[in-house]
Amino acid sequence: MSINGELSRFRVKYKEKKPKDPTIAEKFNTYRFADYKEQVIDLLQRVCTVSIETMQIIQQIQV
């Protein structure tokens, strides 16, 4: 597990995307990152914390 891998998955999951189907895009394209900014930032902090703590545990085990 690396922090870069986790951040990449995170970025892909929360990226704003426009639906390809025009009908769906017209009626259901309501996701805006700004609407969920605080929750996304909180989740990002948690992912970073877990990644860093995991790396520290692995280093302690290897010593």
Going from N- to C-terminal start, the domains of the chain cover 3-62
CA 18, 11, 14, 37 torsion-angle sign? negative
- Residue-level pLDDT at 56: 93
* Eight-state DSSP code of residue 19: -
DSSP-derived letter for residue 60 is: H
| Cα–Cα distance measured from residue 27 to residue 46, given in angstroms and rounded to the nearest whole number | 33
Q: According to the model, what pLDDT value does residue 3 have?
A: 62
The whole-model pTM stands at 0.54
> How do the pLDDT tens digits run along the chain, 63 residues long?
566 677 777 777 777 777 788 887 777 767 777 788 888 889 888 988 988 899 999 999 987
